[in-house]
A and B are shown apart, each in its own frame.
Chain A
């Protein structure tokens, strides 16, 4: 951050301080007359676009409390300007400080502290010089306007307090209530010994308290008011001795060096008094309320806007850069994970190759080897030899010598292709060995239907063993209710032809 210059304005002399990095440096001193203004103009030559603030430490500063209707925006501004114009003849350096809201019956009001200098003309040529030099005026402040900020830095909470300090201009007393300025006065001092200054502080504090009670800014009866006295360096003991507390006021003293440390002031020029604290606050933490008009601060506003735009761009870039950096960290992490995964894949591949290298030599790929054997095994399972069926039929025939076979057909197929025996459904769909046997029944009279049927059924039952199932039996005579039964008993000659039958059995393939 670049240096800021503060024009410290007293009734007699005016000083230009250069504030940078917590240090104050006296740059120039000017007399309060026309010669001083001329010298100031000369001083400003070559300081175009320098940052300036004005800190007035004058006795003639008016404070007046007003209440206005609670408003916002342009309406509030208009009311305030009207009140300022009613109160002050010259409103160039007049401002209103909000003291908060107050209820007046049904209506809500805002309490204001109107303040201005009784003689603004003494400031005008100096402000004009700043304007003409093209400097950037951040604001015109008075010491009382900075008192709440100083009080807060020195540990004063929200209670009522008097901030008392000796500046180049005199003894400055500021009354702060709820961290808001209520009143201030400046009493001129002459060179005096510490004891005398302390006694003067005591008497002036008593007078101010009396005045504030008169103004009803303080209750007549109530808790004692704290008076925080900033003592010149090394004189705190003297002040403590001279400032005993009583029922109306509690004095608290603080050494100037300690106060400087509390506000962050690292270095101040020789000869500066408590105004150094106010100067430092003007440079580092100026309050929003000040006396300069919008037009007088226009260059400063444009400068702020310039910095704000660049700062917004920089902030955006920083945000993007931060997010981008996080993204890049994720990229690095993801790439590392990918590299690790690839390494693991390579390792698995190498291990696989080592194992497969030790495999027995095959003339084909592992997959084709598997497919060939699996499919061939399936085909082989669906195949069979006729021999077991022939043996089975032969063994059963040995038990039925009256049966004479004409034909035997062995095949592989599905039993469903042949009609199933009633009450014995064949397993549909499975491949099976199907044996169809055609033959004749000998040694039984042809017209003995019952005997022939019984023998064929016994034969079929014998065949349906050893894993074979009966699929179909075609008897020599149709004895079912659906068929036609005919007979020619004892009248015709015997043809000698034995009754024929057909039996089909099946054995499922494994």
Chain B
């Protein structure tokens, strides 16, 4: 069937109406689809947020117990100045004082440059562990002198003293009644460990 020009004209308006209706329908679908996608994204974000908060809340009891348990150690580290900057003058004073108090015959030491042991990941900042190696040479009358020296050093604080090596050997000098001669020599290597907590409040 062939349409005349007049008939085609008559069909034009219905075609336009149908096209507008179809276009409106498609627009409606697209806008609904976009809104649904946005709502689904919003829901996913909200669910993630809820899950994270719920997990954190579930962990809180454990966290509380952990904080209470670890706080004592942390406070002790602060009191001993293990946490914080190196106290090299305090170390020197401590060695001098120990030598004097323990009447050590000969004591030589050297503290090397500070080096980072490692950096532990924290939040909001890392916790850095540093060590300065101290080399000590001691003249001993008895091996007890060495143990007392190490004990005094440890008690002096200002670092955590981690003894890495101690060698004791005879000097070969015979004891005389005139002067006190050292029978033993000890040489030790000790790591003086300090901790820098970048998130700590001063």
Contact = CB atoms under 8 A, between A and B. Distances in A.
Contact of B46 (A323, A324, A342): A342
A35 interface: no
B174 interface: no
A339 to B, nearest CB: 8
Contacts of A189: none
B54 interface: yes
A317 B22 contact: yes
Nearest to A433: B163
Interface string A346-374: 00110110011001101111111111111
Contacts of A307: 14
Contact of B57 (A325, A342, A351, A365): A351
A369 B67 contact: yes
B20 interface: yes
Interface stretch (A277-285, A406-414, A444-452, A466-474): A406-414
Interface of A is mostly: helix
B120 A407 contact: no
A220 interface: no
A489 to B, nearest CB: 30
Interface in A330-345: 330-331, 334-335, 337-339, 341-342, 344-345
B110 to A, nearest CB: 18
A255 to B, nearest CB: 44
A223 interface: no
Interface stretch (A159-167, A268-276, A385-393): A385-393
A370 B165 CA distance: 30
Contacts of B60: 352, 355-356
A142 B14 CA distance: 33
Contact of A302 (B11, B46, B150, B170): B11
Interface stretch (B35-43, B89-97, B98-106): B35-43
A383 B162 CA distance: 6
A364 B46 contact: no
Given A345-B46, A368-B127, A376-B77, A331 B39 contact: yes
B125 interface: yes
Contact of B71 (A327, A331, A360): A360
A324 B28 contact: yes
Nearest to B123: A367
B87 interface: no
A380 B80 CA distance: 15
Interface in A48-65: none
Contacts of B35: 327-328, 331
A79 interface: no
Find the residue from B13, B35, B150, B198 having the highest chain A CB count within 10 A.
B35
Contact of A348 (B29, B50, B129, B198): B50
Interface string B110-152: 0000000110111111010100000000000001001100110
Interface string A312-332: 111011111101110110110
Which bucket holds chain B's interface residue count? Answer: 35 or more
B129 A377 contact: no
Contacts of B170: 405-407
B53 A345 contact: yes
A309 interface: yes
A302 B26 CA distance: 27
A310 B67 contact: no
Contacts of A385: 147, 150-151, 154, 163
Interface string B18-50: 111110111011011101100110110111011
B200 A371 contact: no
A47 interface: no
A409 B126 CA distance: 37
A305 interface: yes
Interface in A391-418: 405-412
A366 B200 CA distance: 10
A134 to B, nearest CB: 11
Contact of A364 (B14, B15, B200): B200
Nearest to B78: A363
Contacts of B108: none
B67 A359 contact: yes
Interface of B: 1, 3, 7, 10-11, 13-15, 17-22, 24-26, 28-29, 31-33, 35-36, 39-40, 42-43, 45-47, 49-50, 52-54, 56-57, 60, 63-64, 66-68, 70-71, 73-74, 77-78, 82-83, 117-118, 120-125, 127, 129, 143, 146-147, 150-151, 154, 160, 162-170, 193, 195, 197-201
Interface of A: 294, 301-302, 305-307, 309-310, 312-314, 316-321, 323-325, 327-328, 330-331, 334-335, 337-339, 341-342, 344-345, 348-349, 351-352, 355-356, 359-360, 362-377, 379-380, 382-387, 390, 405-412
27 contacts: A305-B11, A306-B10, A309-B17, A313-B14, A313-B19, A317-B22, A324-B28, A325-B32, A331-B36, A334-B43, A337-B46, A341-B47, A342-B49, A348-B50, A355-B60, A362-B71, A364-B74, A364-B201, A365-B123, A369-B74, A371-B121, A373-B70, A382-B162, A384-B163, A407-B169, A408-B168, A412-B165
